[in-house]
Amino acid sequence: MTLFTTIYSFLYQFGDSFAYLTLSALGLAVIFGMMGVINLAHGEFVMCGAYITILTAKAGLPLPLAMLTGAMTAACVGAILEYLIVRHLYNRLFDSIVATWAVSLITQQTMLIFAGPSIEGLSTPFNSFELGEYSFSTYRALLPFFAIAVLAALYLLFFRTNYGIYARATIQNAQMAKCLGLRTPRIYSMTFALGAGLAGLAGALYAPTITAVPTMGSSFIVPAFVTVVTGGANVLLGVLPAAGFLGLIQSGMTAAFGQLAGQIGLLITVIFVIRLLPKGMGYLFTRR
């Protein structure tokens, strides 16, 4: 194995970890950072995006449109959930945790009853390529660029649109924004739908690479919470450095000692970061 192959293998693992952490965390970061709601049904929005993507793609819809349909469906479900349940639990942190956890359990069991333990997945788009003795998936190699593109789109949304101005004003002082005439309930509803849609997009993007099961959201929610807690409440300035740093640690430990060591190293790193930076890594950039 040449030095170039070794370096590229590490960069491939790092990009894969970075994309997974970023895409998993964005929806949760939007909802938690802007609304202060800890959404334990986050994984079920991911599952919704994956299931809808697979079903619509098998029905004949082109894969990019199927992914967009999955993300939009998750956003619509999120808007309904916010209207029926979440909006009555603002400023009631523990109540919202219990309620969204209940929604998570109900959704998992309902999907298990009606959809079965799993559904046949999709084939991974594009072909694989080989370097030395290793074979790499072209699609997974492109996922980090998809993650960066989603981050760039969020930046434009928050800093170049009227919604972004209203949303940031609501973040800073919801009562003052309401006094100035902003319809904060509508902004909260749109924000929750945005977070759910981002979670659905994560599920849609990973639908061709994983087995779709009713409990698949559990594998996304843990790295999502880890990344959000490490990055802090700031969506753009928190998720990017947190996902990059944690992805570097995880891929390095995995390459050196195996996958289990990578997971352990990731969790130990999170403990040290939140001990040294209680407000998250994003606070370093926000302060500057």
Give the position of tokens 């509508």: 186
The enclosing H or E element of 134 equals strand 134-137
C-beta atoms surrounding 90 within 10 Å = 17
pLDDT, tens only, 140-163: 999 999 999 999 999 899 888 988
CA 53 from centre of chain = 16
pLDDT for position 130: 81
- 237: closest CA among 190, 169, 168, 177? 168
> Around 210, how many Cα atoms within 13 Å sit in the side-chain half-sphere?
21
Pairs from 187-190 (Cβ < 8 Å, separation ≥ 24): 187/163, 188/35, 188/82, 188/87, 188/90, 189/79, 189/82, 189/83, 189/87, 190/79, 190/163
Work out the pLDDT band at 233, boundaries 50, 70, 90. Answer: low
| C-alpha–C-alpha distance, residues 229 and 270, integer Å | 8
pLDDT, tens only, 10-63: 889 999 999 999 999 999 988 887 777 889 999 999 999 999 999 999 999 999
Query: How much is the average pLDDT of 253-258?
Result: 84
pLDDT, tens only, 168-213: 787 777 778 788 788 878 888 999 999 999 999 999 999 999 888 9
Please give the residue that has the higher pLDDT: either 286 or 65: 65
Domain boundaries, the chain: 15-287
Work out the pLDDT band at 127, boundaries 50, 70, 90. Answer: confident
